[in-house]
């Protein structure tokens, strides 16, 4: 691409404004792979400065306004993604991806328009702004509910995930070596196979709106998991147990913060035990669900149904709707009095934590379920007015420059008991139950009533003691019955922040990272299935 030629010749589109070419000189060829790779030749994307982005944003805003937009915003995004995967001593894949581009959102006649491109040049900014306005105009023939945004303050700010060591500063060889060491630990202890992966994610974005905000954010996420598997070929059986150290917004200190090796050893032992464990007797049972399983139940049965767009029907064609419809706000007894679920986009290490959402709204904390009562939804600027709120809860998110921002889930966490209660105490207090540990498979209906979850490990509890491992367990329930059957929670000493990097929603499909804090909890009279006797 003839960069300098382009800058010289860049005409001012039909309605753009003339721009100096300075930032373009830095922008194009904007590969920003990290410094440990090649110091000599790699130019950093970060050589862009705030003024450069502002100028590109000004071009967009000016063009949008001239094309009839009452509101416009731009996100310039760089998503970096490093993945390492191995099995046993074999490298399964090492890759480093960087996706760079911009997305422009405009409102014309109360209808959204959106256009995006991987080519960050003044010419493309103008072209795509005009295209976004044209799409909005074309689609406005279908518009029956013009979009109205609740007001937002103007911010000029930056935000960076708190981290000690930037994972992209660590040489890839060190990461591979660490992972192969984990695999060796598993194999030495008797695993027949072991699969491991590491993810390092950096989401950098600049946001500017026609209302005057200009926000730069630099977000980091990390995850590593090892899954040992043991096979009994004679019996034709195999079992695996995954490590349960969750993805978090954290730096490379993740690997010293958590006892990976110890957990891998425990996984191998558990997998061996699972091969020999007796199968569960199905029926109604009390269960203690460990926080590293319950976080996902929270995600599915509280996180998704309290998304306002789902409740209103905006996601009916794919993710589904919600049983928690607006008429239930403030009067649905969602759970027992012990249940407090709080949404929080400011929580330390939370995957959905950031300074501002993709509407440019500052992030906050707010209650969703208060002493069992359903009190709030998750909202964006477009949605807040629908439930008569003056402010958005800052839940707009787009997973890439090429995605339209939609309402996405904040970190939603279960508040621990204020009374002292360790997991051991809870087990001692329980007569006959199953302890369910670890995230297994999960499935829930499109309105979020009926769910069925498995786990990694299942233990029988008799007369206050863990008596032995059992296998083939799934628990199935109805959201309201389930949360109302909760009669005991552990205290904050058992708090675990679980999460997922890949929560799916929207069309075209988008992923979103989100965390859920939980403590182990006891639920009475839950439907237990034997997964070996279903067919």
Partner 1 sequence: MIIEQDEAAGIIEKILSYSSADSASVNFSGSNSNNLRFALNSVSTCGAVDSVSVSITSNFGKKSGSVNITSIDDESLKNGVLQSEKIAKLSPDNAEFMPPPEKQTGYYEVKEYFEDTNSVTPENLAEKISYTLDKAVQNDLVSSGFSKVETKFNSIGNSNKLLAYSKSTNSSFSSTMRSKSGNGSSKVNRAYANIDLLNVRKFSDKVIDNALLSKNPQSYEPGKYVTILDNSAASDMLNNMLWTLNLRSADEGRSFFSNNSKGNKIGQKLVSDKVHIYSDPQNDLAPASPFNSEGYPIRKTDWFSEGVLKNLYSTIYWAKKTGTEYISYPSNIIMDGSDKTVEQLISETEKGIFVTRLWYIRSVDQKQMLLTGLTRDGVFLIENGKIKNSINNFRFNESPINVLKNVIDMSAAEKVVGSETGDSKIVVPALKLSEFNFSTISDAF
Buried b / exposed e over 45-65, threshold 16 CB at 10 Å, is beebeeebbebbbebbbbbbb
SS3 state of residue 390 = coil
Burial (CB < 10 A; 0-12, 13-18, 19+), residue 519, is buried
Q: Is 450 in the site for partner 1 (CB under 8 A)?
A: yes
With CB under 8 A as the contact rule, the residue among 10, 66, 99, 389 that binds partner 1 is: 99
Closest CA to 98 of 60, 46, 56: 46
Q: Is 463 in the site for partner 1 (CB under 8 A)?
A: no
Other Cβ atoms closer than 10 A to 364: 16
Q: Is 446 in the site for partner 1 (CB under 8 A)?
A: yes
**Pick 270 or 402: Cβ nearer partner 1:** 402
Least Å distance between CB 280 and partner 1? 13
**Pick 277 or 474: Cβ nearer partner 1:** 474
With CB under 8 A as the contact rule, the residue among 56, 61, 115, 241 that binds partner 1 is: 115
**Pick 371 or 385: Cβ nearer partner 1:** 385
**Pick 332 or 446: Cβ nearer partner 1:** 446
**Pick 196 or 417: Cβ nearer partner 1:** 196
Restricting to residues 468-527, which ones interact with partner 1 according to CB under 8 A? 472, 474, 476, 478, 507-509, 527
With CB under 8 A as the contact rule, the residue among 98, 257, 269, 425 that binds partner 1 is: 98
Which residue has tokens 């699969």? 195
Least Å distance between CB 84 and partner 1? 9
Least Å distance between CB 272 and partner 1? 15
Which residue has tokens 């029988």? 460
Q: Is 437 in the site for partner 1 (CB under 8 A)?
A: no
191 to 230: interface string for partner 1, x by CB under 8 A: --x-----------------------------------x-
**Pick 180 or 373: Cβ nearer partner 1:** 180
Least Å distance between CB 14 and partner 1? 18
Other Cβ atoms closer than 10 A to 9: 9
Nearest-10 crossing angle of helices 122-139, 50-66: 40
Query: What are the beta bridge partners of residue 156?
Result: 214
Restricting to residues 391-430, which ones interact with partner 1 according to CB under 8 A? 402-404, 406
Cα gap 299→302, rounded to integer Å: 6
Q: Which two tokens stand for residue 36?
A: 């440990």
Cα gap 89→307, rounded to integer Å: 43
Least Å distance between CB 348 and partner 1? 31
Least Å distance between CB 162 and partner 1? 28
Cα gap 456→439, rounded to integer Å: 6
Which residue has tokens 């439907």? 527
Cα gap 412→345, rounded to integer Å: 9
With CB under 8 A as the contact rule, the residue among 447, 466, 487, 511 that binds partner 1 is: 447
Q: Are 80 and 44 in contact (CB under 8 A)?
A: no
H/E stretch holding 257: helix 254-257
Restricting to residues 65-84, which ones interact with partner 1 according to CB under 8 A? none
Other Cβ atoms closer than 10 A to 32: 19
Q: How many residues bind partner 1 (CB under 8 A)?
A: 103
Restricting to residues 142-161, which ones interact with partner 1 according to CB under 8 A? 142-145
Least Å distance between CB 322 and partner 1? 9
Q: Are 202 and 219 in contact (CB under 8 A)?
A: yes
Q: Is 184 in the site for partner 1 (CB under 8 A)?
A: no
């Amino acid at each position: 691409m003839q960069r300098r030629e382009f800058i010289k010749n860049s005409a001012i589109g039909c309605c753009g404004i003339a721009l100096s070419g300075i930032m373009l000189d830095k922008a194009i060829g904007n590969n920003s792979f990290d410094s440990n790779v090649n110091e000599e030749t790699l130019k950093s994307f970060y050589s862009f400065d705030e003024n450069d982005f502002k100028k590109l944003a000004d071009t967009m805003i000016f063009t949008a306004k001239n094309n009839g937009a009452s509101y416009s915003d731009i996100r310039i995004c760089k998503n970096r993604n490093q993945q390492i995967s191995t099995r046993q001593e074999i490298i399964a894949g090492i890759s480093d991806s960087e996706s760079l581009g911009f997305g422009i959102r405009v409102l014309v006649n109360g209808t959204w328009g959106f256009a995006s491109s991987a080519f960050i040049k003044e010419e493309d900014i103008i072209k795509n702004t005009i295209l976004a306005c044209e799409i909005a105009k074309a689609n406005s023939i279908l518009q029956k509910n013009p979009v109205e945004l609740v007001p937002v303050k103007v911010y000029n700010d930056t935000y960076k995930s708190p981290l000690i060591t930037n994972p992209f500063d660590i040489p890839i060889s060190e990461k591979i070596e660490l992972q192969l060491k984990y695999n060796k630990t598993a194999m030495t202890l008797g695993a027949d196979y072991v699969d491991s992966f590491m993810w390092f994610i950096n989401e950098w974005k600049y946001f500017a709106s026609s209302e005057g905000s200009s926000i730069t954010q630099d977000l980091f996420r990390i995850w590593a998991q090892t899954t040992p598997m043991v096979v009994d070929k004679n019996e034709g059986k195999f079992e695996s147990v995954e490590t349960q150290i969750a993805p978090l917004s954290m730096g490379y200190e993740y690997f010293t913060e958590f006892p990976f090796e110890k957990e891998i050893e425990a996984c191998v032992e558990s997998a061996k035990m699972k091969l020999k464990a007796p199968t569960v007797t199905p029926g109604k049972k009390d269960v203690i669900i460990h926080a590293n399983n319950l976080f996902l139940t929270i995600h599915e049965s509280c996180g998704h149904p309290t998304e306002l767009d789902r409740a209103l029907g905006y996601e009916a064609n794919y993710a589904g709707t919600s049983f928690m419809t607006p008429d239930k706000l403030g009067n649905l007894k969602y759970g027992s009095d012990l249940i407090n679920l709080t949404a929080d986009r400011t929580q330390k290490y939370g995957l959905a934590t950031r300074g501002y959402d993709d509407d440019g709204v500052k992030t906050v904390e707010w209650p969703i379920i208060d002493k069992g009562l359903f009190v709030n939804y998750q909202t964006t600027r477009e949605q807040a007015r629908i439930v008569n709120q003056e402010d958005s809860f800052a839940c707009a998110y787009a997973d890439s420059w090429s995605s339209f921002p939609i309402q996405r889930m904040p970190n939603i966490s279960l508040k621990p008991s204020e009374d002292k209660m360790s997991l051991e105490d809870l087990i001692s207090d329980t007569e006959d139950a199953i302890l369910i540990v670890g995230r297994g498979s999960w499935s829930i209906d499109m309105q979020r009533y009926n769910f069925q979850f498995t786990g990694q490990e299942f233990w029988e509890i008799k007369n206050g003691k863990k008596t032995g491992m059992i296998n083939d367990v799934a628990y199935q329930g109805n959201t309201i019955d389930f949360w109302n059957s909760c009669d005991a929670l552990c205290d904050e000493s058992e708090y675990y922040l679980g999460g997922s990097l890949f929560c799916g929603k929207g069309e075209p499909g988008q992923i979103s990272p989100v965390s859920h804090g939980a403590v182990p909890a006891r639920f009475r009279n839950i439907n237990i299935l034997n997964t070996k006797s279903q067919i």
